[in-house]
C-alpha cells in the first residue's frame, strides 16, 4: 500500500488518541475508588451483623429488666395487701402467717432489686457496646460516602476525557485516506495499529529494530506503508527514525 508520509503521520495521532480513549474508558468503568468501596461494603456488612448482635444483647437485658420490674411491682402489691390484712386481723395465727409472708416478700423484693441493679450495670455496658459499634459503622459509612462521591467525580472526569478524545479522533481520522484508515483499524483491533519509528525503536511495541530490518526500511520508498517486524503495526517513519 502507498500513502503520503503526511497521511501516515496522522496515524500516530490517531493511535495516541485511541490510547487516550482506552485509558479514559477504563478509568470510567473502573474508578480507583471502586475496590475500596467494595471492601467497605463487605466490611460494613460484617460490622452491621456485629451491631445487630450487640443490639440483641441489649434488648435481652432490657426485657429482663422489664420482667424484674414487673415482679417487683407484684411483690409490692402483695406486701400492700398483706400489710392491710395484718392491720385488720385479730387472729394471732393468721397474723403470724402474714408476718412470715411479709418477711419472705421483703427478702424476695431485696433479691429482685439486687438483680435489677446488676442488670442495670449490664445495660449500661450494653449501651456503651452498641454506641461503640454504631460509631464504627458510621465511620465506615462516612468513608464510603466520601469515596463514592470521589468515584462519581472521577467517572465524570474520565467520561469528559473519553468524549473529548473521541471527538478529536473522529476529526483526525477524517483526514486519513479511507484505505489507510481501514488497514490501521484492522491492525488496531488485534493489537498495535501504528507507531512512530524513533531512534530505530518502534514506539508501538518499544522494540529496537535489528540492523537487517533497518536496512530493509531504508530501501522502502517514503510513501510505502511498512510494518514493524516485531509487532506488525504500521511503522511511521520520520526524520528522527535513525535510518
Percent of the chain with pLDDT over 70: 100
Q: Is the pTM of this model over 0.85?
A: no
Domain span at residue 100?
28-158
At residue 9, does pLDDT exceed 80?
A: yes
Instruction: Examine residue 131 and state whether it is found in any structural domain, yes or no.
Output: yes
Asked whether residue 106 falls in the same domain as residue 141, the answer is yes
- 169 within some domain: no
Same domain flag for 52 and 81: yes
- The verdict on 32 and 132 lying in the same domain is yes
- Statement to judge: residues 58 and 144 lie in one domain: yes
Over residues 21-71, the pLDDT tens digits come to 999 999 999 999 999 999 999 999 999 999 999 999 999 999 999 999 999
Contact between residue 24 and residue 161 where contact means Cβ atoms under 8 Å apart: yes
SS3 194: strand
Pick from 92, 125, 158: which residue ends a domain?
158
Last residue of a domain, one of 134, 158, 182: 158
According to the model, what pLDDT value does residue 79 have? 94
* Residue carrying C-alpha cell 478509568: 27
The reply to whether 95 and 32 lie within a common domain is yes
Give CB contacts under 8 A, 24+ apart, made by 101-107: 105/75, 105/78, 105/79, 106/79
Reading the block at residue 202, the C-alpha cell is 518502534
What is the count of structural domains for the chain?
A: 2
Alpha helices of 174-242 — where are they, by DSSP H? 178-190, 211-219
Chosen domain end from 104, 133, 158: 158
pLDDT at site 83 = 93
CB 208 within 8 A of CB 200: yes
Residue 139 has a pLDDT of: 97
Amino acid at each position: 500500500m502507498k500513502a503520503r508520509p503526511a497521511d501516515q503521520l496522522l496515524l500516530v495521532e490517531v493511535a495516541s488518541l485511541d490510547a487516550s480513549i482506552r485509558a479514559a474508558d477504563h478509568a470510567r468503568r473502573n474508578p480507583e475508588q471502586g475496590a475500596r468501596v467494595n471492601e467497605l461494603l463487605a466490611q460494613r456488612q460484617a460490622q452491621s451483623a456485629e451491631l445487630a448482635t450487640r443490639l440483641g444483647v441489649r434488648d435481652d437485658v432490657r426485657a429482663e429488666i422489664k420482667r424484674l420490674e414487673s415482679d417487683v411491682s407484684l411483690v409490692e402489691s402483695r406486701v400492700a395487701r398483706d400489710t392491710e390484712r395484718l392491720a385488720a386481723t385479730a387472729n394471732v395465727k393468721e397474723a403470724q402467717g402474714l408476718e412470715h409472708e411479709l418477711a419472705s416478700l421483703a427478702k424476695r423484693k431485696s433479691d429482685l432489686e439486687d438483680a435489677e441493679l446488676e442488670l442495670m450495670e449490664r445495660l449500661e455496658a450494653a449501651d456503651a457496646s452498641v454506641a461503640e459499634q454504631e460509631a464504627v459503622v458510621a465511620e465506615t459509612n462516612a468513608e464510603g460516602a466520601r469515596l463514592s462521591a470521589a468515584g462519581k467525580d472521577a467517572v465524570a472526569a474520565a467520561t469528559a476525557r473519553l468524549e473529548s478524545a473521541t471527538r478529536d479522533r473522529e476529526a483526525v481520522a477524517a483526514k486519513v485516506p479511507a484505505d489507510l484508515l481501514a488497514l490501521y483499524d484492522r491492525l488496531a483491533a488485534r493489537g498495535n495499529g501504528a507507531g512512530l519509528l524513533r531512534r530505530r525503536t518502534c514506539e508501538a511495541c518499544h522494540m529496537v529494530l535489528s540492523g537487517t530490518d533497518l536496512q530493509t526500511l531504508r530501501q522502502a520508498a517514503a510513501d510505502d506503508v511498512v510494518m514493524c517486524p516485531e509487532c506488525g503495526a504500521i511503522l511511521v517513519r520520520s526524520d528522527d527514525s535513525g535510518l
